[in-house]
Structure 1
């Protein structure tokens, strides 16, 4: 009687290697999708840059669409993780709101690929992002965090009543987004280099003060 051999177990080394390969593919794919959009990015180029193959990419992500969804999910997860570890609970509400605004601004400034991904997805009218459940869950969490800061600020008498956490999140994001999304056209039109360290620091301070002035009680 011939003994049937099962699939050999995957070793920890193989698992680590697979994780590294998958991570590398995601990083390069993020650059490609951010620079060229969904339609312009090519799996062949991503495979070449990662020294893998189209077959390997499809093994991990099933399709180009699957890879793009994973890139979007990772991009949004990263900014949400950055917000989540801010330890705002121990800060007074106004200080915590300022810190959250700084974190939001810094993330956009330091990750222009995130801004370009969001811009490209909006060009496609949000074709993919709505189907990524984890993005909705994480976005709900940051709105909840802002809502709690508003509640604490109202209770302490430092924030005015009637602040909407979703609208406030939108304001933070918009003010942080513009400094990256429009830096090249703004520079051409106004001869002002928005990406210089001095300009970034100046704009960061203005954005924080704008958010705080909006929140403060008269």
Structure 2
């Protein structure tokens, strides 16, 4: 490799590494303080880089926040996307209630485990909910974690698997909110529910959420 090529490769690597470090620091600050209270000064100090570097790579605070959300969403897609895709390829998904129940149990588990493994993202979602999703609706990147599930629910309702009095638009909301709200509630009710760091309690919780969702959306005669 020519010296100029090595130098260019080194700069590219350093830039990528720098962005990761800044995003890690930003994710931590946004998770702890929320978007409104977070400051670029604090993120710069936490990352070890100056503000000019942050502005150079991300433009402004909203641009930085957008990249934090985008990265988390892409990681989430990697965790759950293959499962959704594999099930959608199964022709029996909207024909066989057993397959549909298995899909609900699997997607619930993967979303739940993803949120447990990424507590900062869960905190960011909590801040957004507390602030009525004000900043979320300003960012240029739009996480699309509901369209596939919504379309699936509409088709499953037409085929008679989903109960006829259930609105398919509520399907992705129910799955996301049940998993998110349950994790958030554990700290409050830990004396009664136990701790999520227990594999047994984690497994029981996932099963309970899945059962609630399954019995809430599937046609009762098929249960």
Same structural fold, with TM-score higher than 0.5 when normalized by the shorter chain: yes
For residues 114-168 of structure 1, give each alpha carbon's deviation from its aligned partner in whole angstroms, at most 9, with x where no partner exists.
Answer: 11101112222222111234325x23xx33344225525753x543335433201
Distance 1:65 1:134, change over 3 A: closer
Alpha-carbon shift at residue 100 of structure 1 (Å):
1.7
Structure 2: stretches of 5+ with no match in the other structure: 94-99
Checking the alignment, whether the CA contact within 8 Å between 2:26 and 2:68 is kept in structure 1 is yes
Distance 1:147 1:196, change over 3 A: same
1:202 paired to 2:200:
no
Name the residue aligned to 2:134. 127
The structure-2 alpha-carbon separation of the partners of 1:124 and 1:216, relative to structure 1 and needing over 3 Å to count, comes to closer
Relative to structure 1, is the Cα distance of residues 153 and 100 closer, same or farther in structure 2, using a 3 angstrom cutoff? Answer: farther
Q: Quote the residue 1:147 is aligned against.
A: 151
Match of 1:216 in 2: 218
TM-score (norm 1): 0.80
Q: 2: distance between equivalents of 1:90 and 1:162?
A: 27
1:74 aligns with 2:71: yes
Contact 1:109 1:179 in 2 (8 A): no
Question: Distance in 1 between the 2:168 and 2:79 partners?
Answer: 18
Within a 5 Å distance, the mapping from 1:54-203 to structure 2 comes to 54-86=51-83, 87-91=86-90, 92-93=92-93, 94=100, 95-135=102-142, 138-139=144-145, 142-148=146-152, 151-152=155-156, 155=159, 158-161=161-164, 163-187=166-190, 190=192, 192-203=194-205
1:48 paired residue number: 45
Secondary structure in 2 matching 1:161: coil
Q: Which runs of 5+ in 1 are unaligned?
A: 1-7
Q: d(CA) in 2 for partners of 1:66 and 1:154?
A: 41
**Which residue of the other structure, out of 24, 27, 37, is the alignment partner of 1:27?**
24
- Count of aligned pairs: 206
Query: Contact 1:30/1:71 (CA < 8 Å) preserved in 2?
Result: yes
Aligned residue for 2:96? none
Equivalents in 1 of 2:142, 2:193: separation in Å? 37
State the distance in 1 between where 2:109 and 2:217 align.
Answer: 15
TM-score (normalised: structure 2)? 0.78
Q: Give the corresponding residue for 2:9.
A: 12
